[in-house]
Chain A
């Protein structure tokens, strides 16, 4: 058997695990590991410019591919810098393995240089964490970490590694286990058959059904099955912010996103439904609006891998715990059997009336068919997303930051495939977009990757422009330039009589074009609508260049619809500055 040091075991175990990229940043506590990687590893390492970006890049890679992202950071500030990215991944259930260096074991607890209790700090934002005690544990610990991160409801796992466990002069027998068994960890493998049968009956008895699908469908690779079931039944589908792409965005049965900035027809259909099939979604407060007023007439079937997501905020009438893929397969089978016996299921008349109602809603206020957006002589943000959609043929990986631009992207880019829409939904982390785009681009170098952002967000991880230079990552950055922290301004317009407390910075923004040039990238400004498409095309035509498109939009535009809060129901929405339902 081969004898390896702790550091070498880490390098080797990551290879044995099939890791494609490591995103990281070196420092004292991980230098043995870096040296081992340097000497032995074939895995490319991406040196970011801030550890937060390492976690977001690994996260973007994970969201684009479905495989765990891998991060390596040093102890103390390296580890704490990674915290925001770990929390981001945790909130959106993204598989990630974070290796953090720790001071040598004999120094732990002594407030040693760059010591921080990483296991403690990260505890509430990880799926699990490990502290390596003996170097011999390293291979099995890494195996367990990947297993936990990627199975069940995925999430980030931290492995904290004291420096002495990686020293080069102590060698150990290396064996990487093929599989692990953790007696206290057994995510559900199948849904309960009895519950699935009940669900099939309820689903087919519906007169006003809606399928409400979330990020779990994307993560659980169940988009195909979901689409099949929805098409077979001709039921309308709405996706959460995290679920966009789980059902084809251009399909007639797709109602668009639901929730706080959801589409009118999606929120109306939810509110008036009699049966909701919730799949891999968690009734988040940004979806439900006031829980006590949520969809008063609806019976709820809720499929989720995580039992804690079920009946947490909204009670499920038929809970089904299991992987969405296997449960949807079983449910479809049950539905088919019931329909063989009774071809009038579901009631065709009722369904036709329901579609007629939905089409009316669409015609009245639908973003794509009915009402458009405000008009001015400025470029409207929605037009930028529509242009992006046209120029990329709807086929790009779109990452975003957090704010109005994120909501416009979610509403107007119509995702036909899962994993194409990459955003921080749960934590809402500004600064996510650019590093996430780097991860997606590394995963799919031949695909277009664009980051839709705002001047506020992009500056939270703008240092990564340098990483893009180093690794030649020609992502496109589409800046919806409104010269405000736009989403904050929108709330201040709506709730604080337009007092813009700390949401402006117009005088101090950099000249982004020159900034891009300083990094060796290309910057372009768009101020006229007439130039929008041409400039957009020009940007994407520069295949091997990072291009930053600074699009000056109407700064006064708000994101609509917007749920009326507090005390509003799903159906209560602002449709424009002076119209509400």
Chain B
């Protein structure tokens, strides 16, 4: 019993109104225009006046176009056949393959009961020290990369996606540039991950509102797979485009904006998506990594600001590096207790010293004479930047911790570091404070000479592939993940020792 209407009363922005009865809030309709068909969703009911948001945009919509109500809210199919496939912002194939219509599920379903959540405990190793040591990523975490256009945020996403041990990757592109879309496709293909990936891609050339459904589509599918025991990593890029689409609709609906034109419910809208990240104790998990580009590089802009309040930390990507300040993993303390006993101390201590370095560096740049202490800090800061922060550094956590002690020993007396004495006696390198040749000198020289030059990055990625294979050979499917991560930790520790 589908209702068809032929009289569109108004077209304002991407919202149209029709007069209709018996329509449900949130219901979907299909509009046939001279440009083709588009989905639209009921966003307001006022008597018999129904407002619909048209996903393909209102351009070319005529008052006599046909509006057919579908009698159900937005849905998406969910099946194993979706693996390796690419869909658009309405959930239709964009790879030329057949449409998938089996097992439809509603999107934007109810939220998980907090009482059913568990404390996340499984670290996702990335071999990026700025993540593993200082801001550990944890399964079921929701975490954005704060950045500005031009930074390699999509590259970072792709690298983490390939390196992380997950069963599935779901990529949601919102306003994604075509070349970035192709980049993801190619990288995941080369990494052999395409057949465990699903893409929902809305590109920059398509109407903004069509990107609005992408996060919900990705997360609805992710949720189903997670309930079936899969470890799912959802990548969303770029959530600022998503927020801008929300803003556009809000303005069309004449809502009073709260801040720079964004609607007052931006926080709740973003939270509804990010809170889908979860670890089901008897099944799989959803981890969300998103990109939030900061307009004007301003973290107080409503989109990064609201995001930061919602997510479990953020990675600041600036000048091609993950910044120690501002970057945060709120879940790190759940996992860094059981890695190695010096992990937390290194994590805080090295950042505190780096903060002092920044001050000395500021004084230096203003031309002040550097005290002996300043000199030490300067030396430390440089070493920290090149041997820890640089994204080309690709080493396991344990090696990074050892490297932390080495760097400190090269630059300071033990007591100057503020580290606890028991840790110092245990971890301070024997031949400390001599800038002796350290075990990681091979990598160091690699990083020191010509940062990020081509051969280097090849070398590091070559290094990491066998490791990933080795892990896969392990007890991949063991159901209790804590065991798995412990095994992983142990494995890495072993390899770190030899």
Binding between chains A and B: no
Listed in ascending order, the chain B residues whose CB lies under 8 Å from chain A are none
